[in-house]
Structure 1
Amino acid sequence: MEVFSAEISQSVALTIELASVTTVILLVIGVPLAWWLARSKTLLSDAVTTMIALPLVLPPTALGFCVLVLLGPNGPGGVLASFWGERTLAFTFAGIVIGSVLSALPLVVQPIRSAFIAIGERPLETTGAFRVYVFTTISAPLARLEFVKAAVVGFSHTIGTFGVVMMIGGNIPGRTKVLSAYVVEYVQASRWREASVIAGGMVMFAFAAVFTLAFIDRYCARRGA
């Protein structure tokens, strides 16, 4: 197999699609969740914060196994899949999207939550307006660069994910086999050249992502944000 074969190209497209869909879902879910966690001071919010942070300390394979059970025929995922005639969400693109979202959620929610905490309650006290109005007109615009940084981190994390996706989706070409799986496959087959090319490309992508974050921080410092 050549390094840039049709199968590899298909895996690159799948990986980018997975990262794109995951990032959109992360922002849709993560921004309002971070806003609520930044404002709430209840035990429930503490419990939710703890649950969100679990992927940071759980081994990816353990997280993947837990999600696999939930998505299987006997879990909620099986019930959901039955509505369109399937038995499970495991080993599907939808399944690896769910796993990727859960894996990257703390990387998106925590920095946005910190940004909302830094803004404080002053906008709400000053305007006396409803919280939704304050969020959409004041807090969200002030935290917009954190949204961008969170999107970059979520996208980049998903590009490099492997353990969670492997447990939930396996390595089905064209359906769940992401690019990082080929690094492991090539190393196991002692195909060092191919593994080096793919790993090198992922290193360059990671460098570009981290450099983008540093550029955003420098921009914020110049603007006094």
Structure 2
Amino acid sequence: MTMKTSLVAQFLGTLPDFLAIILLAGVLLLVVFGGIRLVRLPSSWVIISIGGLLLIYSIGTILSDQSHGRPIPLAAILAKGGSMAGLVSMVTALYAFGQWTARGWYIWMKRRSRRWFSTASRLLLLFLRRYHQLFGWAVLAIVTLHALLYIPLLLRLSVSAALTQPAVLTGLLAWSILVFLVGLGLWVEFAIRHKRVPPRARLVHSLTALGFFLLTLMHVGTRLVMR
């Protein structure tokens, strides 16, 4: 009961930060996408630009923690890198999930006959659809990197101590769901190419993605307890 209560509290405590990340990630995408469209560059520059900004922010955050003059253990530096990788993976996951929200927004705008907004929404939807698989694979790769960077810290714990921590349990479960989600996405794409898409396959894919986000919320609110 204590662990369940703790996870719920962590979920609620993380929710405001998660909503802020959603807002900032959305604004970043809209600004960069609009700017790239304005100067008529290929859509791949949207990914390059956002990826570059996230990389610069991550490196700057890691280096800022080392500017206080105190020596920082390598394991702590790697863990900070893991934390930033987690943030980047969350933003990327939002973009992967974004094709469903963009589709709903496009349909809503189209029904209201607002041509400029519906056209812009359609362009954004096509962009998110085009790179959906890339975003999905990127999330899996970055989340895996996030976990690997924490291994030096985890090695200080016994196996039993590590596996009883909510941070590890929620992380492993979220990663497992993500692997299943990527596999499910590949299966859906295969079925689409062969025109044999099972009913509600996309719905299952979407609900699984939502489950991944909920677990991620719980995971973000946890902390490793070194004992």
Q: Shorter-chain TM-score category?
A: 0.3 to 0.5
| TM, length-normalised to structure 2 | 0.37
| TM, length-normalised to structure 1 | 0.37
